[in-house]
Each structure stands twice: as C-alpha cells, then as structure tokens.
C-alpha cells in the first residue's frame, strides 16, 4: 500500500520504518503511536530525501525533545566552524538541528549538514530568501518565496518554520495593540515588512495550499511559526499572540486534511505564572498539535545567562504540555554562539527536558535519577561520571580539588553524610579525626 507522509501511513495502518523506530525509542505500542500520529498529536519529521535520519517523534506522551540552532550569517560565515558545532550537537545527542543560515553559501552548508546528520533538520526558508535571490526584500515575489520552500524540501529538510499566521487580520490586531518590543521574530518581522512594503497579504498564508503541496510531496513537517511571540515579559499573552495562535490552529486543521504533519511554535519571553495557562491555550486552540517553544525566557534582565532563564521556563512549559524545546545559549541577545555557548545551551535544555519528563511521568524517566542516587550512595565516582548529563564537567570539578579521603569530596571530607551513614548501617565505627582501622 502506498502512502505520501507519515500521517498518511498512520491513517492507513502502515507501519513505516520511521514509526517503528520511534515506537522502539519511546517504548510505546506501535498501534497507539500510529493513532496519535493520525490525529496530529504526534509528528515524525522525516523528509523522504533525508536518507540517514534516525527518526524522532515529537508530541503527546513522548519524551521531551530539544533543538539546537546554528548556521552562518553575514558577520560569521565560516562553514567549517558551524560544521564543528553540528558534530558536537550530534555527539551530545540533540534530537534536532535548525539551520538558521541567512547569508552566503547557505545551500552548501545545508546539504553538508543533512548529509552528516542523523538528527532531524529544520530551516526557516524566509531567512534564506534575500541571500538566495540576492534581491532586496521588497522585490522578492510570492512565487520566489514558495520556490525557496521547495528548494529546502528537495534538499531533505525535515521541518520548516513557516510564518503563515501573521496575515493582514493579525497585523491589524497588532497595530491596535502596541507592544513594548514590537516583533522579535526574525522571519515574522521580514514578512510583516514585505506585506507592508508591497501592500499584499502574507504569501505563506495566501498560498498556504501551495505550501501544503510541497510539504506533502516530500513529507516535510510544517512548524507553524509564531511571528507574534513576545520578546519581553511585558508583551506576553497579549491580543497579537493569541490572535496568531488561533490562526495557527486553523492552519493546522487544513494541513492535517492533506496529511501534512504540523508543529506549533510558541513563546518567547513570559512571566513564570503565565506559562501553564499558555500551554493549555495552545492545546485547546491548536487541537493538541505538538508544541515547540523557545524558552520561555522568564525574565529579561539576564543577558549572558539566558540558558538558565530559558531552562527554568522550558521545564515548566514541558511539564504542562510543550513537547519540543528550542535551546537558548548564554550568548542569546548578544552574539552568534560559539562552540562552548552551544554546549552550555544543549545541557541546559536537556536538563529542562528531563525535569519535565519526570513530572509528566514519562515511562523510564526516573530510572536515570535512581541509578545516579545508587551510585552516590555507593560513592562510586566513576559511575557518577558515567551517569552525569555532562561527564566531562563533573570529572573536571572532581579532579580540580582532591580530598584526603578519596571516597569523599572536599566539601565535607570525612564528615560526609553518605560515608558515615554507610558505615553506621554496616555496623562500623566512624573515624573522623583518625585514619580508619
């Protein structure tokens, strides 16, 4: 039996190799997984032309996934440096990599990325359009914008951010409700500017059926972009954000009728006490489509530490319904991240995802923590390092300050509660001031 997309296969009861892979990774019954995919509650972004992908599922009941952003820009256009980041992200087992390249040899970098990556690959075609045609934004035609989408699809991109929700109606809501930070979505701001300069409807909204034609042909998952995501906590949960979210929900239903998989993108900057309500709103307005969030960043005062502000928000968001976390690095708002920034961003996002999986009761999530607790009780340092989310950093800290008693650390020494409780429970004496017998 033939099928066009993973969603089409699931509706027809066909177990694709990608569905089988995800079911095994998630320890989920394959029939249950197919039911979730057929209803749009789970997506498996896997372009037919991405031959070496190790498929991942994003959505309801699955482990929280993380995405790593990278790519070349006009100010930092060294492809080899970005490929080093790609290799590190793969080594650190990021489930997704988004190529946000916006200058120079974008296609060369994208093709090399897809060739080497088992992780799913995402792009934002709007970023690429100006450089792709070497034309000013105003002069790019709607047809040319659609052609960029098709080029990315042919190359093997698994999911694309398409800012189709910022239509004229949403733009009017934005104009009537001024914001402190206006738009901070790069793609959304470019489309808003294109619409304004050409006095035209957003081509991705106007020609959404043509976008679906492309995505169905190559099985590209649409990540419906949030042009109106808040760029500061003062702008969160405002009329523009909610109006766009309603539009994204309508577009998701149109995509599912064509068997095109969908993810919904979400905030952004947001105060802690608004996160739960926003997750509920997305689930309701977007019909349980997988939710992909940037952060949320829960305070605006921490440049240089936004991997932390993002991890705080991300763990809460994923606990209450987000399925996919876009990492944020310490360089956010300041510069293109380097390799070390990227590593810190990945670790922070992985922590947030795991914290949420424990809270959501994802099968097996607590096992890792229980193994770590057992290793700590045994003061088995090698096992502790092996289980650590960042073994290199854990070992480096341990070796930088050696204790008198090798079983302990330099915080407590022989006053170590674990050491002493082990001895008491074994019926042994506790020698703190003297050497053990």
Residue 388, SS3?
Answer: coil
Residues 343 and 88: their CA atoms lie apart, in Å, by 8
Any binding-site annotation on 228? Answer: yes
Any binding-site annotation on 416? Answer: yes
Any binding-site annotation on 406? Answer: no
Any binding-site annotation on 163? Answer: yes
Q: What is the DSSP letter of 232?
A: S
Any binding-site annotation on 215? Answer: no
Any binding-site annotation on 409? Answer: yes
Any binding-site annotation on 266? Answer: no
The 3-state DSSP composition of the chain as helix, strand, coil percent (nearest 5) reads 50, 10, 40
CB 29 within 8 A of CB 292: no
Residues 132 and 315: their CA atoms lie apart, in Å, by 37
Phi-psi region of 186 (alpha: psi -120 to 50; beta: other; left: phi over 0): alpha
**Which residues, including other chains, have CB under 8 Å from residue 67's CB and lie 6 or more apart?**
94, 95, 96, 97, 98, 122, 292, 324, 325, 326, 327
Any binding-site annotation on 273? Answer: no
CA distances from 127 to 102, 147, 183 (A): 5, 13, 15
Any binding-site annotation on 320? Answer: no
Residues 99 and 92: their CA atoms lie apart, in Å, by 17
CA distances from 194 to 190, 197, 223 (A): 6, 5, 20
The whole-angstrom distance between residue 261's C-alpha and the CA centroid of its chain comes to: 16
Any binding-site annotation on 412? Answer: yes
CB 130 within 8 A of CB 137: yes
Any binding-site annotation on 40? Answer: no
Any binding-site annotation on 292? Answer: yes
Any binding-site annotation on 240? Answer: no
- Name the pairing type of β-strands 221-224 and 159-162: parallel
Any binding-site annotation on 265? Answer: yes
Residues 64 and 210: their CA atoms lie apart, in Å, by 31
Residue 78, SS3?
Answer: coil
For residue 170, give both structure tokens.
């949403």
For residue 354, give both structure tokens.
């795991």
Any binding-site annotation on 269? Answer: yes
Side-chain half-sphere CA neighbours of 184 within 13 A: 18
Any binding-site annotation on 227? Answer: yes
Residue 299: enclosing H or E segment and its boundaries? Answer: none
CA distances from 325 to 78, 115, 159, 304 (A): 27, 24, 15, 19
Binding residues: 69, 98, 127, 163, 185-187, 226-229, 265, 269, 292, 333, 409, 412, 416
Binding residues for substrate: 69, 98, 127, 163, 185-187, 226-229, 265, 292
Binding residues for Zn(2+): 269, 333
Binding residues for [4Fe-4S] cluster: 409, 412, 416
């Amino acid at each position: 039996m033939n099928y066009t997309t993973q969603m089409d296969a699931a509706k027809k009861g066909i177990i694709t190799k990608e569905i089988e892979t995800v079911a095994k990774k998630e320890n989920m019954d394959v029939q249950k997984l197919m039911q979730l995919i057929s209803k749009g509650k789970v997506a498996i972004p896997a372009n037919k032309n991405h031959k070496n992908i190790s498929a991942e599922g994003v959505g309801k009941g699955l482990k929280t996934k993380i995405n790593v952003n990278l790519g070349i820009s006009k100010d930092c256009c060294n492809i080899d440096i970005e490929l080093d980041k790609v290799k590190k992200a793969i080594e650190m087992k990021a489930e997704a990599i988004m190529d946000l390249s916006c200058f120079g040899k974008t296609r060369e970098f994208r093709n090399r990325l897809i060739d080497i990556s088992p992780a799913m690959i995402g792009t934002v075609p709007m970023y690429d359009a100006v450089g792709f045609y070497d034309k000013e934004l105003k002069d790019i035609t709607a047809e040319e914008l659609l052609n960029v989408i098709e080029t990315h699809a042919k190359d093997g991109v698994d999911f694309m951010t398409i800012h189709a929700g910022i239509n004229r109606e949403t733009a009017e809501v934005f104009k009537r409700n001024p914001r402190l930070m206006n738009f901070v979505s790069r793609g959304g701001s470019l489309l808003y500017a294109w619409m304004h300069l050409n006095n035209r409807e957003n081509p991705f909204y106007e020609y959404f059926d043509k976008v679906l034609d492309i995505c169905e042909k190559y099985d590209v998952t649409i990540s419906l972009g949030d042009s109106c995501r808040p760029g500061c906590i003062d702008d969160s949960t405002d009329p523009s954000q909610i109006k766009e979210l309603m539009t994204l929900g309508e577009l998701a239903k149109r995509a599912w009728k064509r068997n095109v998989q969908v993810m919904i993108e979400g905030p952004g900057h947001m105060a802690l006490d608004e996160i739960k309500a926003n997750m509920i709103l997305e689930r309701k307005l977007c019909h349980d489509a997988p939710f992909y969030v940037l952060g949320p960043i829960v305070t605006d005062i921490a440049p240089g530490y936004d991997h932390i502000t993002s991890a705080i928000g991300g763990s809460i968001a994923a606990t209450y319904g987000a399925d996919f976390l876009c990492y944020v690095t310490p360089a956010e708002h300041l510069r293109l991240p380097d390799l070390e920034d990227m590593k810190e961003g990945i670790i922070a996002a992985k922590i947030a995802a795991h914290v949420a999986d424990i809270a959501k009761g994802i099968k097996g999530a607590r096992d890792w923590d229980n193994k770590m607790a057992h290793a700590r009780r045994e003061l088995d340092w090698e096992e502790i390092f092996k289980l650590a989310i960042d073994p290199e950093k854990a070992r480096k800290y341990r070796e930088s300050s050696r204790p008198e008693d090798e079983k302990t650390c330099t915080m407590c020494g022989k006053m170590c509660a674990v050491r002493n409780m082990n001895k008491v429970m074994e019926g042994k004496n506790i020698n703190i001031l003297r050497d053990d017998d």
